[in-house]
Amino acid sequence: MKYTFEIICMLLIVGLFVLTQVVGNQFYFFIGFVILQYMVMATAWNILGGYGGYVNFGSAGFLATGAYTAVALINFLDVGLVEQMVAGGIFAGLLGLATGYLTLRLRGVYFAIATLALAIILETVVAHWDYVGGAAGTSILPKRKPELLGELIVDRKAGIFANYKEYLFFLMGTVAIISVWVARYIENSKLGRGLNAIKDSEEAAECMGVPTLRLKLIATTISGAMMGVAGAPLASYLTFIDPLSAFNLEYAINAIAMPMIGGTVSWAGPVIGALLLGTAQQVSSLWIQSELNLLIVGVVLVVFVIIAPEGIIGWFRKSRQGSRR
Amino acid sequence: MAIFIDLLLNALVIGVLLGGFYAALSIGLSITFGLLDVVNIAHPTMLVLGAFIAFLLNSTWGIDPVLAGIISTPFFFVLGWLIYQVYYNVFEKSGAESLRGLAFFFGLLFIIEVGLIIQFGVDHRLVEAPYIGQSWNIVIGEEIDVAIPFRLLVAFVVAAIATLAIHAYLTKTFFGRAVRAVAQDMMALRLMGVDPIRVKRIAFAMGVATAGIGGALMIIVLPIEPSLGRLYLGNVFAIVVLGGLGSISGTLLAAVIIGIAESIVATFFGPSWAPAVSFGILLAVLAFRPEGLFGKTAGAH
Amino acid sequence: MEIVYEQNYNPKTADFTPILRAANAKKPDAIYIASYPNGSAGLVRALAEVGTDAKAVGGGMVGLQFAGLMAGLGPMLNGIANYDFFVPEPTMNLYPGASALIDRYQSKVKAENLKVDALGYYLVPWAYANLDILGQAVEAVGSLDQVAIGKYIRDNEFTSVVGKIKFGKNGEWERPRTLVVQYQGITNNDLQQFATPGTRKILLPADISTGDIQSFNSLRK
């Protein structure tokens, strides 16, 4: 069937909604949100990094752009979460476009370092922007009884969701599913094939008439926008935000590590990587020791790049081919 | 006016000293990344490891931190040797894409960091040495005097000696020229009967070995904790790229430029703008002159 | 009060002497510092290297309460007035159970070689009191109903290892119990001197103070 994937996506969104209504323990939504947020980050990173071969080290900068757009909007207009996410996506997308323009001549490691530098400059600027809390950070209290299209969304008794964690979880889950759909669409489209050509050899791609410049700009914009959407609810989730937590290098690292572990060639890679690594980190930091989640990222990453260079997906493909022979 | 001259002079002096310190942090990366094209993103964390070793030697036996750094340097040489062995066999030999090598060092970064946390905890650590907390005051004129903190002076002198020694070694000796040749033409080296892999292995080990002395200088200059390396990640890469890949003297110059820029900005505009200025310089250089300020080869490759 | 110099710094600042020089150039009477551990240590060192004519220095410097930094900085701390939560001064014994808790903590850290703060004055009593109050509230309410627990905590006064605690309208303590202490008489880098009274005299709150504030330079040699 032509739309099988889309139907599965819709079913998953419905499934997420059912989960929020059935599961009573907020704690699961609390950690589920983080894993889903990482899924969006990994998927977004992979569009540029996995398909196009451009390694973004500054993912945290895009996430923080979304988060701080949301904070500014809350302070300025007191808008709801969905609007914050849309705005966060727009601003981070514009940042992505600007990054693309600024780094047109840069390849490989130079591009990676430029994105890192960009994130650091942004962090410094935000640290001086007192309207959003400056270096000291700011507390965000989510709206008491938020409404969307006339419906009461979060309320202990009358709302669609009994509390904010459920709402945030559902929103992030929906975003994650849409991101994965977009990534899959890109992968099978002209854009994806063009990016792949750029990854193999930018000169050759150009000679063959691939509009490398335009494709790169589209990819940086889409990737940045997704990260911004993922970052926008961060302030509401943490109820406090400061530059150090929003620009944390861990976001950048996980956004790279998760696709690498899952496999960068396909949309399923970042999803698998985020599920595995994200869950492992949450479990280890909550039940064993908080430092261990970083150790897990480190060890898993090293082991995977050594024994499974194409990630889990590549590993499966290879073993399947092997058994066929 | 006297106050302005006083501040400016001090900012310049501190900037140069700070630059020397930054050079000590970056020089190893200038070898591994600049010359050998191995993106050792774990380098700053290796420096922190070196700092903790200096701390351990200093707090247990009272060994001077600089001496402690010299003592730990062979250990880092061996570590670098082993890492390159793995790196070469897994990634370089198979011509694997650089992304995987990058991820490998990323993982290494976290393994070292968490290892330090498990061993030492997350507390900040300092070392004791008679020159820390002391300074040398030079009176120049009325209301103008320059104060040189000894800890920065020690860092600068040691860094300068190490950097110049490495520079001399790489330009004057046969092996040094071989290292530089490896970056340009592996085939030619093979034809000359030199094993390029061996050359790269030793050069990489040298680059990592600088983490011993560099780490010791780090803990002399500032308090350290396991995740400090991440803060300096941007700085050291900025300096190496700014100086031009493969140029040791360029790295030293770039480090001094960043040091002076930071201390001038900190003195006259507010310290919190300092990183934005140095990374702004980097971004501008990358956008308009990707080969770096002093590099000769084109950066976009 | 006139503010002559106000600046932020970045967490990766390696050297703080330019900042202190710029501040000194404005000839301040007092220097208020709000800093995190890196900056606290860096500024304390800069104060030792550059010096200052300000009469009072300190304020909200996070990190100077940590055992590792106190021992590392040693005599450079003399004269600084800073906030703290708990120090081994005699008047702190007013709080029941505090010294027993500290003793238990310190011997556990030593016996099990834990990689945590060796002294534990700064956060241990407050963290203990934090959970103690929650525990008392849960027992009094008799269930895990969050709303009821919250109401009980807001409405009642508690006694724990940091004294009597009653919360005010804004959620803070009704009577603040944060200490202001001044470092003095520190002669070397030995950690154990910080486990005895005298190195951190309590200036505020007045009812438990153990010393009066002295000018910054009078406490430095």
Query: B290 to chain A: which residues are within 8 Å by CB?
Result: 105-106, 110
CATH of domain A4-248: 1.10.3470
For residue B42, what is the nearest residue in chain A, using CA coordinates?
A298
Q: Compute the nearest-CA separation of B280 from chain A (Å).
A: 7
pLDDT band at A59 (very low <50, low <70, confident <90, very high): very high
Where is mean pLDDT largest: A298-302, A309-313, C179-183?
Answer: C179-183
Is the reported ipTM for this assembly greater than 0.90? Answer: no
Confirm or reject contact between A204 and chain B (CB < 8 A).
no
B158 pLDDT exceeds 70?
yes
Q: Is residue C214 part of a domain?
A: yes
Q: What is the mean pLDDT of chain B?
A: 86
Q: Where are the domains of chain A?
A: 4-248
pLDDT band at B295 (very low <50, low <70, confident <90, very high): low
Q: Compute the nearest-CA separation of A259 from chain C (Å).
A: 30
**Which is higher by pLDDT, B292 or C203?**
C203
Considering only CB atoms, B275 lies closest to which of C10, C19, C74, namely C10
Whether residue C26 is found in the same domain as residue C67? yes
* Separation between Cα atoms, residue B75 and residue B93, nearest integer Å: 25
Whether the Cβ atoms of residue C188 and residue C74 lie closer than 8 Å to each other: yes
Whether residue C33 is found in the same domain as residue C138? no
C180 pLDDT exceeds 90?
yes
Within 13 Å, how many C-alpha atoms sit on residue B5's CB side?
9
Whether residue C86 is found in the same domain as residue C101? no
Query: C114 to chain A: which residues are within 8 Å by CB?
Result: none
A156 pLDDT exceeds 60?
yes
CB pairs under 8 A between A and B: 128
Question: Both tokens of residue A18?
Answer: 């059912």
With CB atoms and an 8 Å threshold, state whether C68 touches B274. Answer: no
Which residue range is the domain that position C148 belongs to? 94-165
| Strand ranges inside chain B, DSSP E | 135-141, 144-149
A229 pLDDT exceeds 90?
yes
Tell me the mean pLDDT in the region C51-64: 93
**Which is higher by pLDDT, B191 or C110?**
C110
Whether the Cβ atoms of residue B56 and residue B242 lie closer than 8 Å to each other: no
Question: For the domain that residue C192 is a member of, what is the CATH number?
Answer: 3.40.50.2300
User: What are the tens digits of pLDDT across the range A236-272?
Assistant: 898 899 988 899 888 888 898 899 888 888 899 999 9
Structurally, chain C folds into a number of domains equal to 2
Count Cβ atoms below 10 Å from residue A219 Cβ, excluding itself.
24
The single-letter DSSP state of residue B123 is -
Longest dimension (CA), chain C: 61
Question: Both tokens of residue C162?
Answer: 């940091």
pLDDT of residue C93: 76
Q: Is residue C9 part of a domain?
A: no
CA dihedral C105, C106, C110, C111 (to 10 degrees): -50
Chain B neighbours (≥3 Cβ pairs under 8 A) are A, C
Confirm or reject contact between A288 and chain B (CB < 8 A).
no
C13 pLDDT exceeds 60?
yes
With CB atoms and an 8 Å threshold, state whether C21 touches B10. Answer: yes
Tell me the mean pLDDT in the region A84-111: 88
Question: Both tokens of residue B9?
Answer: 């002079």
Nearest CA-CA partner of B223 in C68, C194, C199:
C68
B296 pLDDT exceeds 60?
no
pLDDT band at A324 (very low <50, low <70, confident <90, very high): low
Tell me the mean pLDDT in the region C10-30: 88
With CB atoms and an 8 Å threshold, state whether A116 touches B233. Answer: yes
A143 pLDDT exceeds 80?
no
With CB atoms and an 8 Å threshold, state whether B119 touches C115. Answer: yes
Tell me the mean pLDDT in the region A176-196: 92
Structurally, chain B folds into a number of domains equal to 1
pLDDT band at B298 (very low <50, low <70, confident <90, very high): very low
For residue A130, what is the nearest residue in chain C, using CA coordinates?
C8
Q: Compute the nearest-CA separation of B12 from chain C (Å).
A: 10
Within 13 Å, how many C-alpha atoms sit on residue B73's CB side?
16
Tell me the mean pLDDT in the region A118-127: 87
pLDDT of residue C199: 92
pLDDT of residue A323: 60
pLDDT of residue B300: 37
A151 pLDDT exceeds 80?
no
**Which is higher by pLDDT, C188 or B299?**
C188
Which residue range is the domain that position B196 belongs to? 22-138+151-288
Beta strand C163-165 with C81-84: parallel, antiparallel or unpaired?
Answer: unpaired
pLDDT band at C91 (very low <50, low <70, confident <90, very high): confident
Q: Compute the nearest-CA separation of C207 from chain A (Å).
A: 32
pLDDT of residue A128: 83
